[in-house]
Structure 1
Amino acid sequence: MADSNRVVVYQGPGKVAVESIDYPKLEIPEEVASHFGIAQKAPHAVILKLVTTNICGSDQHMVRGRTTAPVGQTLGHEITGEVVETGEDVLFVKKGDIVSTPFNIACGRCRLCNEGKTGICLNVNPARPGAAYGYVDMGGWIGGQADYVMVPYADFNLLKFPDRDQALEKILDLTMLSDIFPTGYHGAITAGTTTGSTVYVAGAGPVGLAAAYAAQLLGASVVMVGDMNPERLRQAESFGCVGIDLTSEGELGDKVADIVGEPVVDAAVDAVGFEARGHGEGAAEAPATVLNDAMTIARAGAGIGIPGLYVTGDPGAVDDAAKEGTLGVRLGLGWSKSNYFVTGQCPVKQYNRKLMNMILSDKADIGKAVNATVITLDEAPEGYASFDQGVARKYVIDPHGMVA
């Protein structure tokens, strides 16, 4: 057994570092155990040796100082690993298995887990429903941008890949199952995307690219992706999307009409979240922009999927209302058109097995779509800095040199 561990840690706005921490124990966070009156010892848990762990745009919100994350917050919720230790109550996951870990931590026992709503489990976070690894206000669980990590309720949470060699061969696709592929799919499907749909995706970061790719899998006839970053727009166009440059003059509806013949779409996806900016070159931050755009161009009765992150605490917001997540959303517009919103964490377990099957059957090339780029754990700070500058890459950390 290893006796050392390292993890990426938030050190203040714009700064992360790789720090040494204790090797994980089969224990849940004390704050979770004491709040729910349950044992801290976790015979239901496993320890994973990280095969891959990815940098997420949600992590960047913390690293930019745009959440209430404290200095010392461990990072990383996109986890794919090899099981190296199992608790005595783990029955169906074995040492040596290669597994995907949903970023949602779920007990598998509460009412909401039984309803499939694993993003809002009731038993894993004292602060609110739902928890995640390495994230502020998400229960104190240690992050997975690390050498090793503990995963609780392992039989329920983990998705085992059927063949180890095949999994390692396709790891740059399978690593996306922990978050962005299901999250993008959730955004597209909850917006109502189906065969022949016209779809607009706001944001060409990794989640937006995953949503656009998922919309294609769901049979969309045209997928438009709006962004102000030329490199990211080119990445969206590389797999058949139509890029819309939001720095150029003109209304979004007119730009949509130039593509599909009318200024409305059948489904819209917000893959930007609370750090949205207005339109035009050098536009200032305007956090309700994307939601209002989506209501403007969504046809009457259309859905708006919102995998983009919104928070209740943003110390860097543009005004006092936005600091608590109160935004200038034109709800009357959406109401008048009978639009519907679907918000919140993606319940990864609803989708990850089916999307795994698509990858293993060579029907989904998600790693290429999001431009998966491998780095070492020691290169994580450089990866964060590069990602923050808007490069069209999804950084995949390979702590142990297991990626071919």
Structure 2
Amino acid sequence: MIFDYSDKTNALIERLRAFMGQHIYPNEARYEDEVNSGDRWKVLPVIEELKPLAREAGLWNLFLNISAHDTDEWKGPGLTNLEYAPLAEEMGRAGWSSEVFNCSAPDTGNMEVLRTYGTEAQKAQWLRPLMAGEIRSAFLMTEPAVASSDATNIETSIRREGDEYVINGRKWWSSGVGDPRCKIAIVMGKTDPGAARHEQQSQVLVPLDAPGITKVRALKVFGYDDAPHGHYEVILDNVRVPVTNVVLREGAGFEIAQGRLGPGRIHHCMRSIGAAERALEKMCKRLKSRVAFGKPISEQGVWHERIADARIAIEQARLLTLKAAYLMDTVGNKAAKREIAMIKVVAPNMSCMIHDMAIQAHGGGGVCQDYGLASGYAGQRTLRLADGPDEVHRVAIAKDELRRYN
């Protein structure tokens, strides 16, 4: 396996780094000010101002890789997973920057679902404005009443009545619902509880202005509400949508979820590596700028060990992620499922560790809002649960290993 970046990738990395340096990093303080001024659930001017610049720079929808759908209106830049990996890493250095390039979750996964499984009518109504960055979307899968790490537990009812589905259930960690531009949700629930275990679930498109939808509350992670994006608890009470809103077909919900989560997991891991790099950078600058007990903190031996451990951990995680990306490109997502599971465990844990080190290096400043490390840690810690908890991935890895000895 050769992980050298192609000339095309290197050119995009250079262009993306230039954009980050000119437009993203200088606007980090403005972004925080806009989030914390007035209503927290609003459209941020800084994001909307930067989107056209990203499009002009050719840095738009970079996640849309090569697929069977790359010859029509829904074509993206056509990057492979291996080519996209370093670009997602760069975006991960500033958590909010992905939206500027229309490469943020859950929109990325929802666009892939619509592009791969959606009808032409569904694409025209929802994929087109999503690809243009005109609206945002949500994915409603997890539920508070069941262990949603096993997707077959999901209890939300999707019952057919004539030409409509009637949806009832309670969802939470519904990413993106807080954004006023969020217009459509993909909802997973059960259409046939009597079918085979993995054929009971379906996914349907539900406009968020449909009668019967109640946004109960924004959920916080260690006190952070992730405004204006947000993760909400949502009640669906006799919500009605046309049967034409089903994605692919009835009973395909689990199949779609598996197809959606593979690329989503690797995107998360790529961004985690970028977040870890930024945390290490902040840590090293802080250690060199502070003096304790008569010498710079960077000269204290304990920090040499931590810096070395951080660099080693980042490089290991990056190589494993690149291997997973390479395998996804060459043998497919299903054949690469072991590597995808491994990086989903490795990358967030690595990033949590480095954020924790950086917080320690900043002292009291590390746990407050001034350096972005406390919120960064909260985000990375969440990823140990999102798209499947560590334990589920470890079980899958172990079972795969044990099968070798049958």
TM-score, with length taken from structure 1: 0.26
Q: Which has the higher contact order (CA 8 A, sep 6+)?
A: 1
Q: Relative to total residues, which structure has the larger helix share, 1 or 2?
A: 2
Q: Relative to total residues, which structure has the larger strand share, 1 or 2?
A: 1
